[in-house]
Amino acid sequence: MARPALKPKGQALLPSGSSQGHHRELMSVLVGTAAGLFELTSDGARSIDGLGSRGVTALARDGRRASAITEGRQLWSSEGRSWAAVGSIDGWPATCLAPTRDGLLVGTEEAHLVRITDAGCATVEPFERVDGRARWHTPWGDPAEVRSIAIGTSDAIYVNVHVGGVVRSRDRGRSWTPTLDIECDVHEVLAPAEWPGWVLVAAAAGFGISRTGGDSWEFTTAGLHAHYLRAVAVSGTMVLVSASTGPRSSRAAVYRRRLEGPDGFERCRSGLPEWFDGNIDTGCLAAQGSRVVFGTVDGRIFRSEDAGATWELAARDLPAVRWIVTG
């Protein structure tokens, strides 16, 4: 079995410090694409120097610090407008990442977790022994992968394995417990900071919600034209999801509903096309406060300033969008 290793580039992996001079950066929207990193502006999107035309695998933000993985191998960090390579990841290709107080957690192909700190890179060994791991799979026969990671309250960690459900740790990664049936086929997990103890998933089986930190779940497809979901985000009291008829769908759309209450989802229409060709994928729907942003495989970015009630085309003609973070 390949073991992870980090080849450092001479910059601290977890820089510290703060500066009021980065306030505008805190309010920016970063868009990772198949050929470079962009920042959303009031009149489109500007390319961010440093990463060049490298394909962005995943993005994460923790306050004023942003991190990126490119080509599944290179780790980048920024605390302002400049980005620097801080290391390359050997072993399993990376798929997603999430900052924690114990370092960066990186999900990989073949469904492993790696923790990166200034001391280096190490496999999260207890994750290798999760109950049911032997049944993890993909529909096309390849090994499973870690698709998304969410950090909840009290250092709870939720790892979305595709296909393997959602696995939870409540002790900072020292032990892990499955929380969902594998066949729910989860595509993204989210633990919104404004809703302590709540965990949300976008899954092939619909929208899943737990108000008990993953101990129990409810699923719904009410109001959706199809139950296959790829992305989920929370904007205030509203939850938004992307839905389609399947993995190669040409009929994808964005929906929203109140997070609390029995209401079904309503289609987001004002300012949006009737349908999207291709799924609005994991990591490509993001929100902060009343602002919601999503990106498409054909390089368009749509933005809402009212929790998804109305939308505008914010940028176009970008490479295929792979990940978006707000901050």
- Provide the mean pLDDT of the chain: 92
- Average pLDDT, integer, range 71-78: 97
Q: Is the pLDDT of residue 67 over 50?
A: yes
In angstroms, rounded to a whole number, what is the distance separating the alpha carbons of residues 176 and 268? 37
- Average pLDDT, integer, range 7-18: 51
pLDDT of residue 20: 31
pLDDT, tens digit, 9 for 90 and up, residues 122-135: 999 999 999 999 99
pLDDT of residue 23: 33
Q: Is the pLDDT of residue 230 over 50?
A: yes
pLDDT, tens digit, 9 for 90 and up, residues 237-247: 999 999 999 99
pLDDT of residue 2: 62
Q: Is the pLDDT of residue 25 over 50?
A: no
pLDDT of residue 129: 97
- Average pLDDT, integer, range 212-233: 97
Q: Is 67 exposed, middle or buried (0-12, 13-18, 19+ CB in 10 A)?
A: buried
Do residues 168 and 155 lie in contact, with contact meaning Cβ atoms separated by under 8 Å?
no
Number of Cβ atoms within 10 Å of the Cβ of 118? 11
Q: Is the pLDDT of residue 24 over 50?
A: no
pLDDT of residue 3: 67
pLDDT, tens digit, 9 for 90 and up, residues 251-293: 999 999 999 988 999 999 999 999 999 999 999 999 999 999 9
- Average pLDDT, integer, range 300-307: 98
pLDDT of residue 80: 81
In angstroms, rounded to a whole number, what is the distance separating the alpha carbons of residues 149 and 108? 11
Q: Is the pLDDT of residue 81 over 90?
A: no
Q: Coil, helix or strand for 133?
A: helix
- Residue 133's alpha-carbon distances to 145, 164, 167, 181, in angstroms, are 11, 8, 10, 12
Q: Coil, helix or strand for 153?
A: helix
Confidence of residue 5 (pLDDT cuts 50, 70, 90): confident
- Average pLDDT, integer, range 98-105: 96
Q: Is the pLDDT of residue 14 over 60?
A: no
pLDDT, tens digit, 9 for 90 and up, residues 151-209: 999 899 999 999 999 999 999 999 999 999 998 899 999 999 999 999 999 999 999 99
pLDDT of residue 10: 52
In angstroms, rounded to a whole number, what is the distance separating the alpha carbons of residues 12 and 125? 24
Q: Is the pLDDT of residue 26 over 50?
A: no
Confidence of residue 327 (pLDDT cuts 50, 70, 90): confident
- Average pLDDT, integer, range 285-307: 98
- Nearest in space to 55 (alpha carbons), one of 74, 40, 33: 33
Confidence of residue 235 (pLDDT cuts 50, 70, 90): very high
